[in-house]
Amino acid sequence: MKHHRGIPRPYIIRILEEKNIFLPGEKLRVELSLIGKSIEYFPYIFLAFKELGKSGIGKKEEGERGKFSINTVKNMGPDGRYEIIFDRNYENKVGRIMKLSLKKMISPLPEENTAKIFKLFFGTPVRLKKHGRILDYPDFEAIIRSAVHRLNSFSYFYGNGEREKNISNLLEEARKVEVVSINTSFKQYSYYSHRQKSRLYLGGLVGEAVYRGNLKLFYPYLKAAELIGVGKNTAFGFGKVKVEGVNKGGIISEKCYQKQNFDFGTSS
């Protein structure tokens, strides 16, 4: 990691609603994932969200930005269930969040699952880069390379420094994976950069793709990718993926997530 370019941000923020305009009284759900030492700063992040709700977000309408208040905060446990750690109707301060181990949460593919064909869903734009350019197709090697790179980076900067070994062998196997079908499109978003004082555009692949290969080998990395995302701009919420193994009996899926959910209420 000596020549690592850029330090990955230890958080992922995703807006769960697929829209940009919220009317007074509508709910806005935000999914926040914190990695490593950043978990310790959650109380300050919570307060920052509260203050942001008071000052407002979005474009000004009639001289004011959109205001919101935090209704609930839910923390995900190791069993995938959520526990309410803040409810505005009963308390004024947020509870402690549980730290989860990525290694303990991700188990190998069950022995009885012999699926050789698997499907990847791209829930938010996935920006894969290869040979210096953004890809317009879901290259499997690029997906695995990104997942391993992010795991190593998070461990190096925010964890115990343990790194994934034999990456070259893993990528060699990834190149052998065949594409069965692709049903993706390139979705683009725009945002205004105050630093550059201009509107910028970011896009990536959404949809799904089916592959044929050694799912058992790649399964832990793909499950990790469900939690930490793949590709570029994951701090913006990009790179959300989900894996499902397909066999003659249909879909086999083992759910495994790590996140905190904010439930906001908008006001006029």
Could you give the 3-state DSSP secondary structure of residue 199? strand
pLDDT reading at 267 higher than 60: no
Residue whose tokens read 């906001």: 264
Entry pTM = 0.83
3-state secondary structure of 147: helix
pLDDT mean across residues, the chain: 84
Residue 231: its pLDDT value, please?
94
Query: What are the phi and psi torsion angles at 45 (to 5°)?
Result: -65, -40
pLDDT at res. 252: 38
Amino acid at 81: R
Cα–Cα distance measured from residue 84 to residue 180, given in angstroms and rounded to the nearest whole number: 42
What's phi and psi for 211, nearest 5 deg?
-125, 160
Q: Which ranges of 5-136 does DSSP label H, i.e. alpha helix? A: 42-55, 102-105
Per-residue pLDDT at 90: 83
Which residue, among 9, 1, 33, 42, has the nearest Cα to 224 in the 3D structure?
33
- Which of 62-76, 94-108, 126-140, 177-191 is predicted least confidently? 94-108
The string of pLDDT tens digits covering residues 215-252 is 989 999 999 999 899 999 998 889 999 998 776 444 43
